[in-house]
Amino acid sequence: GEDFQVTAGTDFAEATYQWTAPDVVELSCFDCPNPIISSSTPGTYVITVSLNAPDCPSSDQFTLTVLQQPAPEFDVAEDTAICAGESIDLGSNNNSNNLNYTWTSVPVGFTSDLPNPNVQPDSTTQYFVSVTNGICPSPSTDSVLVEVSTPPVFEILGDTTICEGDTLLMGLSEPEMGVTYRWSGPSTADFEDANALNTLATPRTSGTYTLTATRGACVETQTVSINVIEIGLAFAEEMDTLRVC
């Protein structure tokens, strides 16, 4: 009942893979380089993969042994992305305390024997778990990739009052690599480039203007309040026509 992933090689642009296996062995795909394989029928099976490439076909095979003893049942978190300072549970609250868990990591430094450890990595980390149930002699394994991003750091214009038609420099920082920026406000037409940190803007309407900066799972926002004073000339009705000597 356990499933696992095998990797035959690279996903070449001009080559195709072909996997063959007995009917009792299930593959998630038959023409990819890394299918997920599972079987609920005890026995020993030969699985073959062929790589069909121009002028250089090749093939290989391995033997899969499915034991009669039941594999331990447990869940792990999906691969995920977080912002630095956030934490994530690696397992599940439904995981049994009667199983034996061995967690490790790459980069090294993390170990745990809990069914659902909580981690707060400061850099991208792959976590591995090996689980035994005291019945099946072969441990079951799985992994969780946690990608960690650092929050964007930036500065924008402070609250200000302008005359209608004035142009402002909205951002005051050097743009960071890997960060996307988006300005929004009463009218996006006010921005010379709404996707640039240090864009010029000619606000036509008073209101709050917001910059959203995103890097991976990190989203930071800052706002600036801009008061626009309308400028206009109006003569009193009796002054529409003037006579002078």
pLDDT tens across 73-126, in order?
999 999 999 999 999 999 999 999 999 999 999 999 999 999 999 999 999 999
pLDDT digits (tens, 9 = 90+) for 120-145: 999 999 999 999 999 998 899 999 99
Local mean pLDDT, 10-residue blocks, the chain (245 residues): 72 82 93 89 94 84 91 95 97 97 97 98 97 93 96 97 95 97 87 97 94 97 95 60 58
If we measure between CA atoms, which residue out of 71, 51, 62 comes closest to residue 21?
Answer: 62
Burial class (CB in 10 A: 0-12, 13-18, 19+), 158: exposed
- Decide: 139 and 101 in contact? Cβ < 8 Å: no
- pLDDT value, residue 76: 97
| Number of Cβ atoms within 10 Å of the Cβ of 72 | 22
pTM of the model: 0.76
Beta bridge partner(s), residue 82: 148
